[in-house]
Amino acid sequence: MTEEFTRFLALFDSMVRYSHRWIALMDEQKLDWAPIENPSMRFGSRLSRITVRGLLIHCALAERNFVARIRESAPGATVPLPNDPVAAARFENTDLQQTALTLHEENMAALKSYRAEDLTKKLQFVGREWTGMGLLWGMYAHRSFHLGNIDIYLRQSDVVAPEFFEFDSLVLG
């Protein structure tokens, strides 16, 4: 595999595991807390009540969608927004963190089966053309964006968030 893809795997795995460390700092009762509720506090049309639990599930399901769709889609195909009721149901009445980490480990296993052509094929997502590799970096940026949201929630619940660049692994990409 390419050096870039190897670097992506290391950084993405570290980002996901690191974000779980952040969430573990938060009081369990605050995972469903929405510090600000008003009409502007929404992400698109699908997520209107933003909580840490909701953000973690949103990221896990989006990542599952990207990882599967990049691999299985024909060149030129449109990658749909996430809609996987079976994967979403895995979060019902279970340990939030463990379920999300299990999905992440499944994603990492699937990513390791990618072929070079999966990374270079052109796909459509939100009206734009991406390569598979570009969309994977977009997935990384999506997780990072929502980690920023979680950072704000931690601080508003009187918890000092960890420093952003202090991932668990000492050697990254």
In a domain, 170, yes or no: no
Q: How confident is the model at residue 121 (pLDDT cuts 50, 70, 90)?
A: very high
- For 73-111, the pLDDT digits (tens) are 999 999 999 999 999 999 999 899 999 999 999 999 999
In a domain, 89, yes or no: yes
Structure tokens at 22: 């952040």
Which residue would you say has higher pLDDT here, 142 or 28? 142
d(CA 26, CA 19): 12
On the 0-12 / 13-18 / 19+ scale of CB atoms within 10 A, 70 is buried
CATH classification at residue 134: 1.20.120.450
Averaged pLDDT for residues 129-153: 94
In a domain, 138, yes or no: yes
In a domain, 39, yes or no: no
In a domain, 173, yes or no: no
d(CA 42, CA 50): 7
173 pLDDT higher than 70:
no
Residues in the chain: 173
In a domain, 161, yes or no: no
- For 32-88, the pLDDT digits (tens) are 887 776 666 666 565 667 889 999 999 999 999 999 999 999 999 999 999 999 999
pLDDT given at position 168: 65
- Number of independent structural domains in the chain: 1
Among 113, 107, 132, residue whose Cα is nearest residue 122:
132
User: What average pLDDT does the structure give for the chain?
Assistant: 89
Which residue would you say has higher pLDDT here, 1 or 145? 145
In a domain, 81, yes or no: yes
Secondary structure element (H or E) that encloses residue 128, with its range: strand 128-131
Which residue would you say has higher pLDDT here, 31 or 134? 134
In a domain, 162, yes or no: no
Name 149's Cβ contacts closer than 8 Å, sequence gap at least 6: 50, 55
Range of the domain at 106: 3-34+49-156
170 pLDDT higher than 60:
no
169 pLDDT higher than 70:
no
What would you report as the CA-atom Rg of the chain, rounded to the nearest whole angstrom? 16
Give the distance between the most distant pair of CA atoms in the chain. 47
Q: What percent of the chain has pLDDT over 70?
A: 88
Give 108-114's long-range contacts (Cβ < 8 A, gap of 24+): 108/9, 108/13, 110/67, 110/68, 110/71, 111/9, 111/12, 111/67, 111/136, 112/9, 113/71, 114/1, 114/5, 114/70, 114/71
